[in-house]
Amino acid sequence: MRKLTTIIIFVFSLITCPMVFAADAAKPDHAAAVQPINAMRPNVQQFIDMMVTKHQFNRDALNLLFNKVQVRPEIISSMQQPYEAKPWYIYRKHFISQTRVKGGVKFWQQHKKVLAKVSQQYGVPVSVLVAIIGVETSYGHNRGKYSVLDTLSTLAFDYPPRTKFFTRELEQFLLLAREQHWETAKVLGSYAGAVGQPQFMPSSYRAYAVDYSQDGSIDLFDNIDDIIGSVANYLHKHGWKAGEAIIAPATTVGSDYTKLPKQSGKPSYTLSELLHYGIHVTGKYPDTTKALFVTVEESKDTQAYWLGFYNFYVIKRYNISNLYALAVTQLSQLIDTDYHKQVKADATKPKKHTPPKISKKAVPSTTLTLTPGSSASVSPALS
């Protein structure tokens, strides 16, 4: 029953979430055969008709493009076996590691000026921005290796459960490629079609990406200013509440918590209401604060309980999985702690004394004057 529930939650996440999955979480079956898609198929031709009529694309160019598309069964296999379906104690190890924490601290150090500026403007903590990029692509080191055109075409035309969603993303991708002057067939991304260091789906790229560097283009692959600014803008547009908590540990008393109606979407129960189910928050928060009760498998035999506040829900708009939002939150906390430890350590290091540089022109030279019948005297003379 748990497995069926997990699958249902996952399918819902794909319907509602504009960004899906970290690029390095998938482990596809590469043994599946790759086949040409055949642009003359009725559903492909129907899509081409729409792009020509609605967006004035060239029919011949699209026929030529889709004749080169490869249907990739391993993509469908990956979609059917999402990493988010794994238990928390396995999921956590993949995304919360010392390597990823150190990478986050380094990323923060390298880009601290723009991170501080973006955080101030959008109200999103630097640590959260860094953690999202860390979870998505390990700070840009793993952006995905699949042809986005192949991926979205496979899912749009050969994966009936998600045809509507991925047909829309394929449409958005072709528009995006035209706007950005990309070579459509050469763009690489995740097994779900997400692109760039922050792994935006094409529709999110067009809706939320920003030209933060103000260089006239939006580049989520290599322009750090655009990448950081776009992640912050996405969270801001989805209602991030500056200065508010993301999550808090919870404890349970008795078994009434199992009777709590299932929650989806925004947090809907106040802390006061959750008390009636034996759910207690750790820490001091107003009784009227609304929260989402989250249960995760801490190990094969134990569970952990959390209460996610509104900002937890905002992170879930990036990826609807509770595990994803929890991983981002915990990684951000570890990065924040280690970064400020490093700042403190650097501040206590003895500073090296560097003698001031003096221009040669400002240093008086000396001339030796010899006067007959007198001892030598030294007098300054400016060179």
Neighbours of 307 (CB within 10 A): 26
Pairing of strands 279-281, 303-308: unpaired
- Among 287, 256, 255, residue whose Cα is nearest residue 273: 287
Looking at the DSSP bridge assignments, the partners of residue 290 are: 270
Q: Report CA 232 to chain centroid distance, whole Å.
A: 10
Distance of CA 167 to the CA centre of its chain: 23
Which residue blocks in the chain are alpha helix, DSSP H?
A: 2-16, 42-55, 59-67, 73-80, 88-95, 98-110, 112-122, 126-137, 148-158, 163-180, 202-208, 224-237, 271-275, 310-318, 322-348
Tokens of 198: 């922050």
Query: Tell me, what amino acid is at 325?
Result: A
Instruction: Give the 3-state secondary structure of residue 81.
Output: coil
Catalytic residue IDs: 136
Q: Are 44 and 59 in contact (CB under 8 A)?
A: no
Furthest C-alpha separation in the chain:
114
How crowded is residue 3: how many other Cβ atoms within 10 Å of its Cβ? 8
Residue 155 contacts residue 166 (beta carbons within 8 Å): yes
Helical packing angle, 322-348 and 88-95, nearest 10° = 40
CB-CB contact of 175 with 213 (8 Å): no
CA 355 → CA 179, 348, 349, 351, distances in Å? 54, 21, 18, 12
